[in-house]
Amino acid sequence: MTTDSLEICDNPITAARRAYQASLGLANAKSVDRSNALLRMAEALRDRQDDILESNTLDLEASRDMAVPELLLDWLKLTPERLQTAANILERLGQLSDPIRRVTNTPLQVEQAQTYCQLMPLGAIALIYEAFPELGAIAAGMCLKTGNSIVLKGSTEASQSNTAIARALQDALADTNLPSGCIELLPADIGTSIRELVSQEHYLSLVIPYGRTSLVQPIVEKATVPVLRAAIGNCYLYWSPTGSLDAVRSIVLDSHCSDPDPVNAIEKILVSPEQKSSSLVSLWNSLRDKGFEIRGDERLVEEYPDLVLADAAEWSQAYLTKTIAFKVVDSLDLGIFWINQYSSGHADCLVTESYSESTEFSLGVKSASVYINASPRFSRLPKSGNTICLGMSNQMGHYRGFISLEALTRVKHVIQGHE
């Protein structure tokens, strides 16, 4: 790897081209070289922790001076624990078995030939992300593990932090056997670069936007490169009359424990008219004690005037805060219909003791994942043995659900004749 890659590129076309060229070499890089690079990257984050946190402090001070919303400040603020988690993820990635060229079965059968599928790298990937400085390191690690290069484009609020992290990662790769350009960083202050970046279909194979809808949706609309849209918040829970109050309370609170971004946080709860008033009030009081704001639809506000009325637009929008809105629906069928209309579509829940209800819900809800009597809490560093995930996708296209290592690969069909 040459020292040229240690320079921050201010041209999105150049960055995409360099990443593309690097991806050609990465596709043929040895698994041991990619794994060793990941371990070096983890070590670099730990060694540079003080420098990275100092840069993050500068970002926080500048953001406060510019009256950046508290939500983004929470996402922006790095702690030693958050940085250590990112390093642990890189270390875990380095220890995992190589997903590239993994052989799988194929439905295609050809006479007198052996047929199979292999997972292959996508090529060059761009991550456009809002705050979350450590997310760049995690995404870079997942890309290198799958033989892909990456172009990082962070937000202005995290410019110093992103630069410090990218420098650490690039320095870690400087004396490895991987090609230069594996990790490219675009400066945050180049305002037109996003539009240019997402139109580089000759060089990029995928764009992943990560943040609020205000960031994600324009990219989806403007990109000529395939987009893997990440989703945060606005997950629904249907509370059946047979469902346990304790289960609902536990699941809701646990779903908000994904720090710092509430990927699968439950923000809307649908209840039956048969639900006991005492159970509702008990749940609301428990949530308020934990710092939640409770809102309700017109039917609930009429009966419980102390609730804040949720307007029509809120049912399809993510709060991304400790706010939960309750709505009365007359049946499970109507609840499923409402979820399919207004949920973010990546993780929705049911609390019930009815097997038939659980079957109807799992088949009827169109979301990427459904949880029955279980918390949807998201973790990028799950227990040993589980895969690492960058986030969740709610798009209706070719890929939905957990953005895992497999999501960053493509399938190649191999037909090998015997003649």
**For residue range 93-126, what is the model confidence (pLDDT) as tens digits?**
999 999 998 787 777 777 777 787 889 999 999 9
Helix (H, G, I), strand (E, B) or coil at 20: helix
Residue 4: per-residue pLDDT: 43
Q: What is the bridge-based pairing of β-strands 389-393 and 401-404? A: antiparallel
Q: Rounded to the nearest 5°, which phi and psi values hold at 232?
A: -135, 130
**What is the CA 301 to chain-centroid distance, rounded?**
34
Amino acid 10: pLDDT: 76
Contacts for 251 with CB less than 8 Å, ≥ 6 apart: 237, 266, 349, 351, 371, 373, 374, 375, 376
The pLDDT assigned to 7 comes to 55
Q: Where are the alpha helices (DSSP H) in 129-223?
A: 133-145, 159-173, 193-197, 213-222
Q: What is the pLDDT of residue 292?
A: 97
In order of their start, the domains of the chain are: 3-229+395-417 (3.40.605.10), 235-372 (3.40.309.10)
> How many whole angstroms separate alpha carbon 365 and alpha carbon 370?
8
Q: Is the peptide bond before 260 cis (omega within 30 degrees of 0)?
A: yes
Spans of the chain, pLDDT less than 70 = 1-8, 190-192, 384-386, 419
- The confidence score (pLDDT) of residue 339 equals 98
Measure the N-to-C terminal CA separation of the chain; round to a whole number of Å.
Answer: 42
Give the number of C-alpha atoms closer than 13 A to the C-alpha of residue 180, restricted to the C-beta side. Answer: 12
Position 191 scores a pLDDT of 58
Q: Model pTM?
A: 0.92
- Pick the closest to residue 240 from 210, 279, 197, 204 (CA basis): 279
